[in-house]
Amino acid sequence: MIARCARCQGTFTTDTFGLQRCPHCGSELHLSDPNAPKPDVPTERPAAGTPGPTPPGPTSPEPGSGPVWGAPPPPPDVAGGPGPELPPPPGPPPGGYGPPPGGWGPPGGDAPGGWGAPRQPAESPASPELPSPFEERARRGFFAGFFETWKLVATQPQQFFRQVRVRPTGQAVLFGVIASTVGLWVQLLLSLPSLGSIGLMEGWLRDMPGQNEESIEMFRAIAERLGGAWYLALFVASPIYAFLRIFLAAALFHLVLSLLKSAPRGFDATLTTVAYASGIYLLEALPMCGWMVAAVWFVIATILGLSESQRCGPAKAALAVFSPLLLACLCCCGPLSVGGLFRGLSGAGGGNVDV
Amino acid sequence: MNGSALPPRGRLGHPEVFAAIALASFAAARFLPLLDLPYTCPLKRLASIPCATCGMTHAFVHLAHGELSLAFAASPLGTVLAAAVWLYALADLCRVLVGAPLPSVSPRLVRATTAAAVVALLVNWAYLVVREVT
């Protein structure tokens, strides 16, 4: 019998029913015996559109019914038709899945399990996966959904990524691409006035005594690179660049997580995390140091997000995020020392030692 | 274990996105004047030592123009990487056209491939450094 953990979505085989412990994340789950006498409450959901008794599961969002947390995570797609028999989803939390009294408000509210609710301990039973406010933008409005999601990613990444649903990933990628593109566009617009000043600085540099031709050439290259068609190309290519950045970063992080055996929820969880965290790049719109703030904030949000979405802990998540930098740092020492050794040897042999 | 969630037959998923990125890299290497961009590796400029990915742009561009020896001379790993990603893109394109299901890849194979890639990167870097300083 194959069972699926409701918390980490990992699957494992077991021969017994009852209380089980997930070998992936260690959380406890209850496998009900299908041959056991059925309770009064029906366990099968009625077909869509057919009237029937309301199951104890989550309620479906209805237009105009106020803030609703949305449906539980859909069953994962499995090639070749329906998958093996899986345990029933966990029961509803106290108070049900219905609209939380506190809504999407700030932390400290009394909404049980809501985005703004106090943090649950890691060992607690699995909380249901929720669509992000951006996914509910048809009901909330585009800007409200966008900025609510951005606020959650930026200020409550652990809570957000613990509960946000990771499939399908399209909405998360769309969110990341929109935010990154807006940041890049504003950054480009802000750099417009500096185009003229670069040419001006080139003139000043030429008049200054002691300036070599190399630095003047560098300024000219920068001015040419930022001007005219190149500028327009950057503007058009910004969404493509944002898209590529999300997918390539997610692929790189996921490879490291796979190497560490710390990706139980698959590539979808990594991609969703990186895509939502890329929304931080909206801060690139800030003049001067915006890109730096955005980069640091993105790294922090991604580490916290991956640790929650993949249930791998912050250490492994940090290793996954810092791995490119770490690899470069580790390897830099090797080439530098090897280079120094070779230069020393060649200098000893040829009589020319570079200091 | 039923493996990770795979896109149903006939639907486009993440493998197709990466295949499109690979095809875009071929188009860029083949048709854009990438080697004319005024760019020098910062590590090479500062320390006169190539970085791990030095020469990969040249390798991609030369291979896209069918210049295999020049590509290998620029970066052996870059040549292998370019060939691998473009072959992957072609294979995935054929798979989508035929409608075949995505072959399942075991996590063990993914881990082994990742580890091999890291080792290959280090070996390639050592080769570039030794070639540069000798």
Q: Between A and B, how many CB-CB pairs are < 8 A? A: 89
Q: By CA distance, what is A86's nearest residue in B? A: B2
Beta bridge partners of A21: A28
d(CA B84, CA B76): 12
- Residues present in chain A in total: 355
Residue type, A46: P
The beta strands (E) that lie in A240-354 are given as none
Q: Is A36 exposed, middle or buried (0-12, 13-18, 19+ CB in 10 A)?
A: exposed
- Considering A67-76, A180-189, A323-332, the range whose residues carry the highest mean pLDDT is A180-189
List, in order, residues 6 or more apart from A7 with CB less than 8 Å away.
Answer: A22, A25, A27, A29, A125, A126, A311
SS3 A19: strand
Mean pLDDT across B8-24: 79
What is residue A38's predicted lDDT score, i.e. its pLDDT? 56
* CA A83 – CA A220 distance, rounded (Å): 62
| Beta carbons within 8 Å of A218's beta carbon, 6+ residues apart | none
The average pLDDT across A9-36 equals 72
Q: What confidence category does residue B35 fall into, taking pLDDT thresholds of 50, 70 and 90?
A: confident
**Highest mean pLDDT of the ranges A281-285, A308-312, B58-62:** B58-62
Contact A128, A72 (CB under 8 A): yes
The pLDDT assigned to B34 comes to 84
DSSP string, A195-209: HHHHHHHHHHHHHST
Query: Pick from A301, A7, A346, A337: which is nearest to A155 by CA?
Result: A301
Cβ atoms of residues A161 and A276 within 8 Å? yes
What percent helix, strand, coil does chain A show, rounded to 5? 50, 5, 45
**CA distance linking residue A180 with residue A185, whole number of Å:** 9
Residues constituting chain B? 134
User: Model confidence over A299-326: pLDDT tens digits?
Assistant: 999 999 999 998 888 899 998 899 877 7
Q: Which residue has the tokens 């929820």?
A: A265
pLDDT at A5: 72
Query: Is any Cβ of chain A less than 8 angstroms from the Cβ of B69?
Result: no
- What does the alpha-carbon distance between residue A223 and residue B46 come to, in Å, rounded to a whole number? 23
Contact B111 A339 (CB under 8 A): no
Beta-carbon separation of B126 and A334 below 8 A: yes
A107-116, A135-144, A150-159, range with the lowest pLDDT: A107-116
pLDDT at A29 > cutoff 50:
yes
Two tokens at B7?
């896109």
CA A351 – CA B4 distance, rounded (Å): 61
Distances (CA, A) of B42 to A29, A168, B50: 53, 39, 9
- Interchain proximity A11–B129, CB inside 8 Å: no
CB contact under 8 A, A268 and B5: yes
- Mean pLDDT across A197-214: 65
Which one has a higher pLDDT value, A67 or B103?
B103
- Cβ-in-10-Å burial (0-12, 13-18, 19+) of A192 comes to exposed
Q: Distance, in angstroms, between A56 CA and closest chain B CA?
A: 27
A158-167, A329-338, B86-95: segment of lowest average pLDDT? A329-338
Burial of A40 (0-12, 13-18, 19+ CB in 10 A): exposed
**Neighboring chain B residues of A267 at a CB cutoff of 8 Å:** 4, 14
CB contact under 8 A, B14 and A271: yes
